[in-house]
């Protein structure tokens, strides 16, 4: 069976080493936080200026001055720290962040990422911190469905959408398989309800067995 | 220049000229200096270039300024949001220019302006449409792109407390762009919840020292 978004999030969470400093992108990657092991000392960074971000705020915890990058009210944890935007992005751009998890429209076989703009003439482009994370985090993990709703692969030989970053993606977690992007090529680490042969057939990207 | 503690927001925004570049703090509504923006709307300056992370949320704050047609150009990282209907309408009608800047470049370009850095090379955006036409250079085996400072004529920021010298402290993630914008504008105007006597803020926790602050108003 293919994975649902919660199972994908759990898979990503299992691969994050204890003690990592991690940025989770807006949308599905946020779900990873629900699956991080307690007591592993994993510190969440939110680019609007906080380390050791706590869970979403509920009820009277809600404070308009304390939100995450998706503008959702969140909470503090013991050891939280605040800082301004230039410092927050220096953390990324300076290579201090261990892992970031982002969604994507497309990832290419060599790790190019496209996740900020569809390129449609009517679309309003919005990049946020995606380009900074793509070049700055030590490991860039993408979490996405493997195919669009129309059945087109999102792991592609070359991205057709406008790029976010070049050769920056290390792993792609999808509902059908987990891919490691390496210098040797794209390695299929796990499959979910699909065989390696079926994947090779449906993707226009050369695949390697683990 | 010593700080002016203003009695009203109208006094705080007096003299902002048509055509100014205005840095506006806030990330979404957190740290957004809504009362200063309302005063700027009343003050009437137009043909503005506004630099802010987002392009307005809902109908208040920056969105209200946009709705009045006072902004010629937005420089921001993330205009498109579920509640950015004011900007979306102006953009689709061709009534506003947009320069999308990666969020880290937005912050660092203002930091550079405030720190006297003529330009800097960074890796953000290399190989993407946002680096097209920009000068690049190989440094340490990697391509870097040259980025220039963004300097403001005015910064409007929201902080938590000021003392009467103009030292500022912030609250939680409402800090966001405030400290870097305060350094990057010719005139920095801060709205705060409270102005306290000089000497009552712990010098160890002041985030924006008074040297960067020109006018303060309690709202």
Nearest CB partner across the interface for A127, out of B28, B100, B171: B100
Q: Is A121 on the interface with B (CB under 8 A)?
A: no
Give yes or no for a contact between A23 and A100, defined as CB atoms under 8 angstroms apart: yes
Q: What is the domain count for chain A?
A: 1
- Among A residues 8-37, those touching chain B with beta carbons less than 8 Å apart: none
Tell me the whole-structure pTM to 2 decimals.
Answer: 0.96
Predicted confidence (pLDDT) at residue B172 exceeds the cutoff of 90: yes
User: Which of helix, strand or coil describes residue A8?
Assistant: helix
Predicted confidence (pLDDT) at residue A198 exceeds the cutoff of 90: yes
Predicted pLDDT of residue B16? 98
Q: Is A126 on the interface with B (CB under 8 A)?
A: yes
**CATH number, position A52:** 3.40.1080.10
Burial class, B175, CB count within 10 angstroms (exposed 0-12 / middle 13-18 / buried 19+): buried
Q: Do A128 and B78 touch (CB under 8 A)?
A: yes
Other C-beta atoms lying within 10 Å of the C-beta of residue B209: 15
Q: In whole angstroms, give the CA distance from residue B214 to residue B197.
A: 17
Predicted pLDDT of residue A185? 97
For B147-166, the pLDDT digits (tens) are: 999 999 999 999 999 999 99
Distance to chain B for A63, nearest Cα, Å: 9
Helix (H) or strand (E) holding B36: helix B34-43
Burial class, A19, CB count within 10 angstroms (exposed 0-12 / middle 13-18 / buried 19+): exposed
Chain A residues whose CB is inside 8 A of the B92 CB are: 122, 124
Q: Do A125 and B80 touch (CB under 8 A)?
A: yes
Q: Do A82 and B173 touch (CB under 8 A)?
A: yes
- The whole-number average pLDDT for the span B196-202 is 98
Q: Which of A47, A152, A158, A198 is catalytic?
A: A47
Predicted confidence (pLDDT) at residue A96 exceeds the cutoff of 80: yes
Q: Is A82 on the interface with B (CB under 8 A)?
A: yes
Q: Is A67 on the interface with B (CB under 8 A)?
A: yes
Q: Do A65 and B110 touch (CB under 8 A)?
A: no
Q: What region, left, alpha or beta, does residue B89 occupy, with left being phi > 0 and alpha being psi -120 to 50 degrees? A: alpha
Predicted pLDDT of residue A7? 97
Predicted pLDDT of residue B114? 98
Size of interface A-B (CB pairs under 8 A): 146
User: What is the span of the domain harbouring residue A33?
Assistant: 5-208
Burial class, A58, CB count within 10 angstroms (exposed 0-12 / middle 13-18 / buried 19+): exposed
Chain A residues whose CB is inside 8 A of the B180 CB are: 84-86
Q: In whole angstroms, give the CA distance from residue A178 to residue A187.
A: 8
Catalytic annotation present for A47: yes
Q: Do A129 and B207 touch (CB under 8 A)?
A: no
Predicted pLDDT of residue A38? 86
pLDDT band at A68 (very low <50, low <70, confident <90, very high): very high
DSSP per-residue string spanning B45-107 = --SEEEE-SBS-BTTBTHHHHHHTT-EEEEEESB---TT-HHHHHHHHTT-SEEEE--HHHHH
Distances (CA, A) of B121 to A137, B124, B183: 18, 9, 20
For A25-57, the pLDDT digits (tens) are: 998 999 999 999 989 999 999 999 999 999 999
Q: Closest Cα partner for B24 from B56, B69, B67, B58? A: B56
User: What is the span of the domain harbouring residue B23?
Assistant: 4-116+149-218
Q: In whole angstroms, give the CA distance from residue A41 to residue A49.
A: 19
Distance to chain B for A180, nearest Cα, Å: 22
For A105-161, the pLDDT digits (tens) are: 999 999 999 999 998 988 999 999 999 999 999 999 999 999 999 999 999 999 999
Whole-number average pLDDT of chain B: 97
Q: What is the domain count for chain B?
A: 1
Predicted confidence (pLDDT) at residue A204 exceeds the cutoff of 80: yes
More reliable by pLDDT, A89 or B1:
A89
Q: What is the ipTM of this complex?
A: 0.95
Q: Do B175 and A129 touch (CB under 8 A)?
A: no
| Close Cβ partners of A197 (under 8 Å, ≥ 6 residues apart) | none
Considering only alpha carbons, which residue of chain B is nearest residue A81?
B172
- The whole-number average pLDDT for the span B17-37 is 96
**CATH number, position B169:** 3.40.1080.10
Predicted pLDDT of residue A121? 85
Residues comprising chain A, all counted: 210
Chain B residues whose CB is inside 8 A of the A136 CB are: 104, 123-124
| Close Cβ partners of B138 (under 8 Å, ≥ 6 residues apart) | B144
Predicted confidence (pLDDT) at residue B1 exceeds the cutoff of 80: no
């Amino acid at each position: 069976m293919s994975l649902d978004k919660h199972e994908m999030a759990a898979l990503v969470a299992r691969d994050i080493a204890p003690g990592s400093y991690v940025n989770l992108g807006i949308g599905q990657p946020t779900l990873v936080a629900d699956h991080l092991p307690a007591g592993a000392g994993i510190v969440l960074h939110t680019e609007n200026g906080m380390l050791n971000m706590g869970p979403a705020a509920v009820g009277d915890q809600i404070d308009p001055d304390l939100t995450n990058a998706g503008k959702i009210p969140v909470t503090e944890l013991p050891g939280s720290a605040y800082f301004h935007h230039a410092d927050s992005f220096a953390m990324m751009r300076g290579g201090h962040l261990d892992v970031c998890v982002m969604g994507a429209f497309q990832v290419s076989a060599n790790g190019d990422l496209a996740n900020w703009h569809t390129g449609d003439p009517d679309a309003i482009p919005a990049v946020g911190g995606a380009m900074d994370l793509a070049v700055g985090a030590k490991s860039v993990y993408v979490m996405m469905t493997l195919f669009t709703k129309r059945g087109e692969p999102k792991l592609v030989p070359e991205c057709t959408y406008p790029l976010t970053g070049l050769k920056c993606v290390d792993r792609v977690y999808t509902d059908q398989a987990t891919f490691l992007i390496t210098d040797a090529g794209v390695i299929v680490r796990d499959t979910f309800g699909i065989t390696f042969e079926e994947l090779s057939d449906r993707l226009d990207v050369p695949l390697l067995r683990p | 220049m010593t700080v002016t503690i203003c009695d009203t927001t109208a006094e705080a925004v007096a003299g902002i000229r048509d055509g100014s570049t205005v840095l506006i703090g806030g990330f979404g509504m957190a740290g957004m200096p809504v009362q200063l923006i309302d005063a700027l709307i009343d003050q009437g300056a137009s043909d503005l270039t506004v630099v802010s992370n987002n392009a307005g949320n809902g109908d208040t704050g920056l969105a209200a300024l946009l709705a009045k047609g006072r902004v010629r150009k937005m420089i921001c990282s993330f205009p498109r949001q579920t509640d950015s209907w004011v900007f979306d309408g102006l953009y689709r009608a061709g009534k506003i220019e947009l320069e999308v800047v990666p969020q880290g470049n937005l912050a660092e370009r203002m930091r550079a302006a405030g720190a006297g850095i003529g330009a800097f090379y960074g890796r953000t955006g290399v190989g993407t449409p946002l680096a097209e036409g920009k000068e690049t250079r190989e440094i340490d085996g990697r391509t870097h792109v040259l980025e220039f400072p963004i300097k403001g004529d005015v910064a409007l920021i929201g902080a938590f407390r000021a003392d009467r010298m103009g030292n500022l402290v912030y609250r939680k993630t409402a800090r966001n762009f405030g400290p870097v914008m305060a350094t990057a504008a010719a005139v920095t105007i801060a709205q705060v919840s409270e102005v306290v006597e000089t000497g009552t803020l712990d010098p160890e926790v002041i985030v924006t020292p008074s040297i960067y602050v020109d006018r303060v108003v309690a709202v």
